[in-house]
Amino acid sequence: MLLITNPLNESEYSFPILECIHILAFALSIGTIAIVDFRLLNIGMRHQTPAALLKDTSTWTLVGLVIMIFSGLLLFSSDPDLYYLNWAFLIKITCLLLAIVFNYTIHRKVAQSQEPSSNGKLVASVSLVLWGSVIFGGIFIAFINQGL
């Protein structure tokens, strides 16, 4: 039998430390996306346009997303079978892919458009629901019966 050891599983501290990095990174990425969303919903930062806020936050969003994805991949690598068979994980990844595509296509386009439209509120709501689902899915991974 071929045994491949993941260096990540050698230390009991590597997983929790990665989780902390993962949490801080998604607070950075989702938090900055949400600032644009709340502006589109006319709730906060009304002195600035959505386009200006998007421009100011997009680098921080991208940095957060990259760190979040890489730390997430490392967490996944600690026990791929466990995650692959977990329905909360599958929902989370589906929502994550949808959220990223949505963020860099429709969300970006609406936030950049100069004239306000009712679409802005819809797009912001979809964005918040998608990112919220990613977080809910992530938490439920640990609370449901595992496939193995």
Residues in contact with other proteins by the rule CB under 8 A: 16, 19-20, 23-24, 26-28, 30-35, 38, 43-48, 52, 56-57, 60, 131-132, 135-136, 138-140, 142-145
At position 32, the amino acid (one-letter code) is T
User: Nearest approach, Cβ of 103 to other proteins (angstroms)?
Assistant: 14
User: Nearest approach, Cβ of 70 to other proteins (angstroms)?
Assistant: 18
Structure tokens belonging to residue 59: 């680098």
Closer residue to other proteins in complex, CB, 3/108: 108
Structure tokens belonging to residue 102: 């949505």
User: Nearest approach, Cβ of 105 to other proteins (angstroms)?
Assistant: 21
User: Nearest approach, Cβ of 69 to other proteins (angstroms)?
Assistant: 15
Closer residue to other proteins in complex, CB, 1/71: 71
Cβ-Cβ contacts under 8 Å for 58 (sequence gap 6 or more): 32
Closer residue to other proteins in complex, CB, 34/110: 34
Closer residue to other proteins in complex, CB, 21/106: 21
Using alpha carbons, select from 113, 111, 140 the residue that is nearest to residue 123: 111
DSSP reduced 3-state for 11: coil
At position 26, the amino acid (one-letter code) is F
Using alpha carbons, select from 139, 14, 143 the residue that is nearest to residue 75: 14
